[in-house]
Structure 1
Amino acid sequence: MNIDLLKRLCETPGVPGHEHRVRDLIAREAADLFDTIETDVMGSLVCTRKGEGENPERIVLACHMDEIGFLVSHVSDKGFVHVSPVGGFDPRNLFSRRVLVCTDEGDYRGIMMAEGKPVHISAPEDRKKVPEPTDFFIDLGLGAAAKDKVRVGDFVVMDEPLVEMGERIVSKALDNRIACWLGLEIVRKLLADGRSHKCQLTVAFTVQEEVGLRGARTVAYDLKPHIGIGIDTTLACDTPGVPERDKTTELGAGFGLHMKDNSFIADGALVREFEAVAKEEGIASQRTILAGGGMDGASLQQAASGARAIGIVVGTRYIHTVCEMIDRRDLLAARDVLAAFLSRH
């Protein structure tokens, strides 16, 4: 497994509207894997392998590049940086975090803290309050000099390394750099196994998914796929305190066939086809339905004249935190079933 690639993808900062560093990394990795590589107006990286014949079946895989983060909204005279979230945060996970403030001139490490009194001088009722994400600020340790280095609109990500824990991988931004990894490694798997495909295969590394599935929508209007596959993480709530019926997926039980969320309902025939391919190849799978949320598969399904669509997902514990956790066996299962499916089209 190419863990070095996943590490570089996860540790490269890129929030909605600022995915350029991730895009550049992927473009370098994709150079020898695709026939054409283009960047669209919104910033999505559209990588295509030609199909056979005059009008081949068009299959598009959507792998969003953005991670949740913040944009700088204000820098005080004392150099404290205030932020506006881009993506969904649970503020309980933001206390005392190390962050990276990314500017055009360079990056600065900082500490994210909540406004208010520290523990030694706060009242018990103060410590029970949960602030909003906009109530947090960043201290760069630069004092007033920060005002000359950081500007409104600069972006902020969590600053944590990827670590391996047995079969488990923990990192910030596994949502959705696992999909970026899959978009590249699926093609490498096809080539390594000597498998071909008749379809026109496009892997679209999309922008701004976390704020409304935006990049995938423009890609879908342009390419008009026959089949759209959204690749993403989903919840793995197989942990204490969550009812069994709400676990969504279980780590180590295989890739997820994403059948429904708030944004779309998967094509039934595609669900059955993926299950048949997985059974034939001996690949573990699990069906998944997510009570909320959305994913790029919805944009592929609903744009222009529409497409048959499904989601292929990897269960992730502690999602939208700095310690997202996946099982590498589930990630490899997603790679293998996608490669096998594509080799049949």
Structure 2
Amino acid sequence: MNIDLLKRLCETPGVPGHEHRVRELIAAEAAELFDTVETDVMGSLVCTREGADADAERVVIACHMDEIGFLVSHVSDKGFIHVSPVGGFDPRNLFSRRVLVCTDEGDYRGIMMAEGKPIHISAPEDRKKVPEPTDFFIDIGLGAAAKEKVRVGDFVVMDEPLVEMGDRIVSKAMDNRIACWLGLELVRKLVADGRSHTCKLVVAFTVQEEVGLRGARTVAFEQRPHIGIGIDTTLACDTPGVPERDRTTELGAGFGLHLKDSSFIADGALVREFEALARANEIPFQRTILAGGGMDGAALQQAAAGARAIGIVVGTRYIHTVCEMIDRRDLLAARDVLAAFVAAH
């Protein structure tokens, strides 16, 4: 397994509207795998492999590059940085976090803290309050000089490294750098196995998914897919305190065959085809339905004249935190079934 690539993808900062560093990393990897590698006007990286039949169907796979994060909204005279979230945060996960403030001139490590009194001088009722994400501030240790270094619109990400824990891998930005990894590695597997495909394959590394599937929507209108596959993380709530019926997926039980969320319902024929491929190739999988949320597969399904669409997902514990955890066996299962599907088309 190419863990080095996953590590570099996860640790490279890129929030909605500022995915350029991730795009550059992927473009360098994609150059030897695809016939064409282009950036569209919104910033999505569109990578194409021509198939054996120029008139065959177009299969578009969407892998969003952005991670949840913040944009700087204000820098005080004392150098405290205030931010506006881009993506969904549970503020309980933001206390005392190390962050990276990314500017055009360089990056600055900082700490994120909640406004208010520290424990030694706060009342019990103060400690029961849960602030909103906009109630947090960042200190990069430069005092008033921070106002000369950081500007409104600069972006902020969590600052934590990828670590391996047996079969489990933990990092920030698994959502959705695992999809970026899959978009590259499924093609690398096809090449290594000497398998070809008839379809025109487009792997789109999209922008601004976390704020409304924006990049995938423009890619879909341009590419007009016959089949659209959204790749993403999904919940793995197989942890204490969550009823079994709400766990969505279980780590180590295989890739997720994503049937429904708030944004789309998967095509039934594609569901049956993926299930048959998984069984034939002895690839473990689990059916998944997510109660809320959306993913790029919906944009592929609904753009222009529409497309048959499905989601292929990887269960992830502690999602939208710096401790997102996956099982490498689930990731490899997703890679293998995607490669088998493309080879069959």
Cα deviation per residue 1:16-62 (whole Å; 9 max; x = unaligned)? 00000000000000000000010000000000000223312100000
CA contact (8 A) 2:51 2:196 kept: no
Instruction: Name 2:2's counterpart in structure 1.
Output: 2
Q: CA deviation at 1:335?
A: 0.1
Instruction: Name 1:143's counterpart in structure 2.
Output: 143
Distance (whole Å) between structure 1 residues aligned to residue 341 and residue 296 of structure 2: 19
Paired residues for 1:1-345 under 5 Å: 1-345=1-345
Distance (whole Å) between structure 1 residues aligned to residue 190 and residue 304 of structure 2: 30
Distance (whole Å) between structure 1 residues aligned to residue 232 and residue 214 of structure 2: 15
- Aligned AA (1:337): V
Distance (whole Å) between structure 1 residues aligned to residue 245 and residue 178 of structure 2: 26
Identity %: 88
- Aligned AA (1:339): A
Where 2:234 maps in the other structure, the secondary structure is strand
Cα deviation per residue 1:179-212 (whole Å; 9 max; x = unaligned)? 0000000000001111110000000000000000
- Aligned AA (1:83): V
Aligned residues: 345
- Aligned AA (1:33): L
Distance (whole Å) between structure 2 residues aligned to residue 162 and residue 75 of structure 1: 30
Where 2:145 maps in the other structure, the secondary structure is helix
Distance (whole Å) between structure 1 residues aligned to residue 102 and residue 231 of structure 2: 27
CA contact (8 A) 2:238 2:247 kept: yes
- Aligned AA (2:232): D
Q: CA deviation at 1:292?
A: 0.2
Unaligned runs of 5+ in 1: none
- TM (norm. structure 1) is 1.00
Q: CA deviation at 1:146?
A: 0.1
Where 2:95 maps in the other structure, the secondary structure is coil
Q: CA deviation at 1:222?
A: 0.2
Where 1:282 maps in the other structure, the secondary structure is coil
CA contact (8 A) 2:61 2:203 kept: yes
Distance (whole Å) between structure 2 residues aligned to residue 24 and residue 100 of structure 1: 19
Distance (whole Å) between structure 1 residues aligned to residue 33 and residue 60 of structure 2: 15
CA contact (8 A) 1:183 1:203 kept: yes
Where 2:209 maps in the other structure, the secondary structure is coil
Where 2:299 maps in the other structure, the secondary structure is helix
CA contact (8 A) 2:14 2:65 kept: yes
Where 1:170 maps in the other structure, the secondary structure is strand
Distance (whole Å) between structure 1 residues aligned to residue 243 and residue 252 of structure 2: 19
Distance (whole Å) between structure 2 residues aligned to residue 54 and residue 150 of structure 1: 50
- TM (norm. structure 2) is 1.00
Distance (whole Å) between structure 1 residues aligned to residue 197 and residue 54 of structure 2: 15
CA contact (8 A) 1:51 1:57 kept: no
Where 2:219 maps in the other structure, the secondary structure is helix
Distance (whole Å) between structure 2 residues aligned to residue 341 and residue 55 of structure 1: 18
Distance (whole Å) between structure 2 residues aligned to residue 37 and residue 139 of structure 1: 39
Where 1:210 maps in the other structure, the secondary structure is helix
CA contact (8 A) 2:252 2:330 kept: yes
Unaligned runs of 5+ in 2: none
CA contact (8 A) 1:76 1:147 kept: yes
Where 2:71 maps in the other structure, the secondary structure is strand
- Aligned AA (1:119): I
